[in-house]
Amino acid sequence: MGRNRKCTYCYDKKSGVHIFNEYIGEKLDIPTIDEFKYYLEGWKALLLTKNKME
């Protein structure tokens, strides 16, 4: 399990990646590590695109 200022997260081979955002009380369950990597790549692309616009 990991923890930073905004989210608590853990990875379990059987049930995937679980993320809980403590500020807004939202949780996200991603069934596989490959889907989690894809999710992160999507955020990376979005942030890089937004950064170029500024």
Binned at pLDDT 50, 70 and 90, residue 5 comes out as: low
In the prediction, which pLDDT does 35 show? Answer: 93
How many structural domains compose the chain?
1
pLDDT in tens, 19-35: 888 888 899 999 998 99
Cα separation, 54 vs 45, whole angstroms = 15
Closest CA to 17 of 44, 5, 2: 2
Residue 54: helix, strand or coil by DSSP?
coil
pTM score: 0.64
Q: How many CB atoms lie within 10 A of CB 21?
A: 13
Which structural domain range is residue 45 located in?
2-53
Q: What residues contact residue 31 under an 8 Å CB cut-off, 6+ apart?
A: 15, 16
